[in-house]
Amino acid sequence: MIWNTVTLAVSTAGRRSIAATPAASRKFATASPSPVSSAGRDHKVVIVGGGSAGLVISHQLLRSGKFVQDDIAVVDPATLHHYQPGWTLVGGGLKTKEELQRPLNTLLDSKLKFYNEAVNTFSPDNNQVTLGNGEKLGYQHLIVAPGITIDYGSIDGLPEALADPNSLVSSIYGYETCDKVFRTVEKLKEGTAIFTQPTGLIKCAGAPQKVMWLALDYWKKAGLYSANGKSPINIGFATGLPGMFGVPKYSAKLEELRKERGVEGYFQHDLVSVSGNTATFALPGGKEKVKKEFDLLHVVPKMGPHAFVKTSALANETGLVDVDAATLRHNKYANVWSAGDASSLPTAKTAAAITSQAPILVRNLLQSTEGKSLDATYDGYTSCPLLTEYGKVLLAEFKYGGEPKETFSWLGIDQATPYRAFYHLKKDFFPWVYYNSMVKGTWGGPKGWIQ
Ligand code: UQ1
């Protein structure tokens, strides 16, 4: 049983086969996109989103050698790009949020046309995207990768509690608040610390507990925490899910750690409101509520698709971009593609997943431009380097169905065990390789460097 983002997606997948439907047997709304020139506001490829997926895919397309100046356009209203997997490290006091960011325009190859604008609407029947400023872009192929949004308002009282500099309420999930997290950890000298995880789809389902394990270790080293329940600080993990993690193999190990370390587990507890020092949780079914007093609260809000995606013809019933789980092509529009958090791909939403998704999307898009069959298939690879303490990481790697797919098994390593070497991958190597190679399109994740 896979929970969280995976649950949502597995239930979608349950209704159709994970294997790619042969392209020839499909009925697409746009059978053959009308050719457009790359002049003016028309582009061969329009990529919505300059996040991890958008950057990796746009540069891998360029590297194919099949595109010239302005053939490919990237649309994103942001001026800054953030290495979000690093925000857990910020929460642990290991990095600053500033060192994890770059101006977005400096990450885009000069051959790409950059529209620093939001998207207003998709018109896939006309091969058009309308921007926030009213401009219309035509395309032969559209790649939709704008990510998902954090819904702070989904928890009553949360926006106010986060904004209050004196409250010990924080979240690693936002740029504004990720640096408040470690300050709250440092401030707490006694009392109850609660770390939450919601039901529903979120980015990186391991992050809500990574930040807890680091805080626990920090308090342990400060002499404020021990597993015997008699220390000044006690810790609870309140999760909407029925277990510690969606993949049974890693969940079992994390449950063992939870018990060993004396952390209270409040399962199927979904945070609905924060008021003063009281957190209220909904139990399954939604009718019954449980209140808990806290001194420190780390919150993971609910997340969901952007409105401009959810309300478009491209979305499935959950609001995500409705693509084939294997080919990454849209299930209705043959010239529309998606990857990353905004996609319906039934796997956990991580930057590591992008390393596997991008080459598949790029290969299949290029095949389709040449009228050839889509021969690359995504197996759902994703990874969660789960910090279990300062100096150790459990490197969860898995594919569709929650089946482990571990990179280092050839070394005889069982990745359910936390290792120091994986900590250095997470803290030092991945942030480095991300900006030095991945965003340029030359990092293949578990496959190493690619052309
Ligand atoms: C990875 O390639 C990557 O990108 C830089 C990450 O950072 C977000 C990761 O967390 C992981 C796990 C990978 C996968 C690569 C290897 C070598 C396991």
**Phi and psi angles of residue 382, each rounded to the nearest 5 degrees, phi first:** -155, 165
Q: Which of 47, 204, 211, 365 is catalytic?
A: 204
DSSP H or E segment with residue 182: helix 178-187
Q: What is the mean pLDDT of the chain?
A: 92
Q: List the residue whose alpha carbon is closest to atom 9 of ligand 1.
A: 352
232 C-alpha to ligand 1 centroid (Å): 37
Q: List the residue whose alpha carbon is closest to atom 13 of ligand 1.
A: 352
Name which CATH class applies to 152-303: alpha beta
**Among 24-33, 133-142, 157-166, 269-278, the least confident range:** 24-33
The reply to whether 152-303 shares the fold of 10-147+306-377 is yes
Mutate to test the pocket of ligand 1, among 341, 381, 383 (most ligand atoms within 8 A of CB): 383
Q: Can you give the pLDDT at residue 286?
A: 79
The percentage of residues in the chain with a pLDDT greater than 70, rounded to a whole number, is 91
162 C-alpha to ligand 1 centroid (Å): 30
- Does the annotation mark 178 as catalytic? no
The answer, yes or no, to whether any atom of ligand 1 lies below 6 A from the CB of 351, is yes
Per-residue pLDDT for 18 more than 80?
no
The answer, yes or no, to whether any atom of ligand 1 lies below 6 A from the CB of 445, is yes
Q: How far apart are the first and last CA of the chain?
A: 37
Nearest to 12 by CA among 360, 319, 248: 319
Q: Which of 314, 320, 321, 384 is catalytic?
A: 384
Q: Can you give the pLDDT at residue 28?
A: 61
447 C-alpha to ligand 1 centroid (Å): 10
- The angle that helices 178-187 and 207-221 make with each other, rounded to 10 degrees, is 30
Domain 10-147+306-377, CATH among 3.90.550.50, 3.50.50.60, 3.30.70.120, 3.40.50.2000: 3.50.50.60
445 C-alpha to ligand 1 centroid (Å): 5
Alpha-helix runs per DSSP H in 222-350: 248-260, 307-310
Q: Can you give the pLDDT at residue 3?
A: 35
Per-residue pLDDT for 2 more than 70?
no
The answer, yes or no, to whether any atom of ligand 1 lies below 6 A from the CB of 381, is no
Could you tell me which residues come within 8 angstroms of residue 317 by beta carbon, excluding any fewer than 6 positions away?
none
What is the rounded CA–CA span in Å between residue 168 and residue 173?
15
432 C-alpha to ligand 1 centroid (Å): 11
Is 213:389 a contact under the CB 8 Å cutoff?
yes
**Phi and psi angles of residue 331, each rounded to the nearest 5 degrees, phi first:** -75, -15
Q: Can you give the pLDDT at residue 31?
A: 41
Mutate to test the pocket of ligand 1, among 204, 406, 415, 430 (most ligand atoms within 8 A of CB): 430
**What average pLDDT score do residues 346-351 get?**
98
Q: Can you give the pLDDT at residue 40?
A: 58
DSSP per-residue string spanning 119-142: EEEEEGGGTEEEETTS-EEEEEEE
Is 203:349 a contact under the CB 8 Å cutoff?
yes
The answer, yes or no, to whether any atom of ligand 1 lies below 6 A from the CB of 382, is no
Q: Can you give the pLDDT at residue 229?
A: 85
Neighbours of 451 (CB within 10 A): 8
The answer, yes or no, to whether any atom of ligand 1 lies below 6 A from the CB of 57, is no
Q: Can you give the pLDDT at residue 27?
A: 53
Q: Is 309 helix (H, G, I), strand (E, B) or coil?
A: helix
**Phi and psi angles of residue 11, each rounded to the nearest 5 degrees, phi first:** -65, -30
Per-residue pLDDT for 94 more than 70?
yes
- Per-position b or e across 7-27, b if 16+ CB within 10 A of its CB: bbbbebbeeeebebeebeeee
Spans of all domains in the chain: 10-147+306-377, 152-303
180 C-alpha to ligand 1 centroid (Å): 26
Residue 33 pLDDT class (50, 70, 90 cuts)? very low
Per-residue pLDDT for 39 more than 70?
no
What is the rounded CA–CA span in Å between residue 52 and residue 360?
15
Cα distances from 267 to residues 173, 238, 239, 262, in angstroms, run 21, 6, 5, 15
DSSP H or E segment with residue 209: helix 207-221
Ligand 1 atom closest to the Cα of residue 444 is 2
The percentage of residues in the chain with a pLDDT greater than 90, rounded to a whole number, is 90
DSSP per-residue string spanning 20-89: PPPGGG---SSSSPPP--SSTTEEEEEEE--SHHHHHHHHHHHHTT---TTSEEEE---SEEE-GGGHHH
Q: Is the dihedral of CA 72, 75, 80, 83 positive or negative?
A: negative
The answer, yes or no, to whether any atom of ligand 1 lies below 6 A from the CB of 88, is no
